[in-house]
């Protein structure tokens, strides 16, 4: 009874909370991605960003979600192995703030990008670029100092 009450309560996410990415390994079978997104949808969790790497044995799916905490609990409940890591998401708003400038700022700070992908949502109607660098906090700091808007979980969550 108590767990259903907790599920119905809205989750308040502090504005400054870093964006969390959940990574899930799926069996390389037809429909496995659809089953995962349906499970999330059925629990009112929106997919805001997605990246896939496919091999013959398995698929690695990286997800930015509207409720990463709830999704993590759901994955544990359903026995879905997953990992969680902070990522940096930057808004590419002005012509001088495009991808090349973003990458040059990271290069000047000697930060390596381990993986990256665009997001599906555009809160300010500008492109959003998600990345995981070898030092996520420093990446957010140097990009913010260079004039980029670095988003937090509260900017994306409901």
Q: For the residues of 20-34, what is the DSSP string, one character each?
A: EEEEEEEES-TTHHH
**Which pLDDT score is estimated for 121?**
77
CA quadruple 132, 43, 121, 149: dihedral sign: negative
Give the HSE-up count for residue 30: Cα atoms under 13 Å, Cβ half-sphere: 0
Q: pLDDT by residue (tens digit) across 91-106? A: 988 665 689 999 999 9
Backbone angles phi, psi at 24, to 5 degrees: -125, 135
Q: What is the mean pLDDT of residues 102-113?
A: 94
10 confidence band (pLDDT: 50, 70, 90): very low
114-130 pLDDT tens trace:
999 999 877 667 889 99
> Would you list the DSSP string of 73-126?
HHHHHHT--EEEEEEEEEE--SGGGSHHHHHHHHHHTTPPEEEEEEBS--TTSS
pTM score > 0.85 for this model? no
Average pLDDT of the chain to the nearest whole number: 86
pLDDT on residue 108: 95
Question: To which H or E segment does residue 76 belong?
Answer: helix 68-78
The answer to whether 115 and 51 have CB atoms below 8 angstroms apart is yes
Is the pLDDT score of 73 beyond 60? Answer: yes
| Partner residues linked to 5 by β-bridges | none
pLDDT for the residue 86? 95
pLDDT digits (tens, 9 = 90+) for 11-39: 444 456 889 999 999 988 889 999 999 99
Least confident of 6-15, 55-64, 129-138, 144-153: 6-15
Tokens for 73, please give them. 């609990």
Q: Rounded CA gap, 119 and 150, in Å?
A: 13
Q: What is the pLDDT of residue 17?
A: 81
Q: Which domains does the chain have, with CATH numbers?
A: 18-86 (3.30.2130.10), 87-156 (3.30.2130.10)
Q: Using the predicted structure, report yes or no on whether residue 1 has a pLDDT greater than 70.
A: no
Question: Residue 157: pLDDT above 80?
Answer: no
């Amino acid at each position: 009874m108590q767990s259903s009450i907790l599920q119905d309560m809205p989750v308040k996410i502090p504005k400054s909370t870093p964006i969390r990415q959940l990574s899930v390994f799926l069996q390389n079978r037809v429909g496995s991605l659809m089953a995962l997104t349906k499970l999330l949808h059925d629990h009112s969790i929106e997919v805001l960003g997605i990246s896939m790497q496919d091999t013959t044995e398995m698929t690695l799916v990286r997800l930015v979600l509207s409720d990463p905490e709830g999704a993590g609990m759901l994955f544990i409940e359903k026995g879905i192995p997953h990992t969680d890591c902070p990522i940096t998401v930057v808004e590419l708003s002005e012509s001088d703030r495009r991808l090349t400038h973003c990458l040059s700022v990271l290069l000047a700070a000697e930060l390596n990008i381990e993986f990256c992908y665009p997001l599906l949502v555009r809160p300010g109607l500008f492109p959003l670029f998600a990345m995981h660098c070898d030092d996520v906090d420093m990446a957010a700091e140097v990009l913010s100092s260079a004039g980029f808007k670095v988003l937090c979980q509260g900017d994306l969550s409901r």
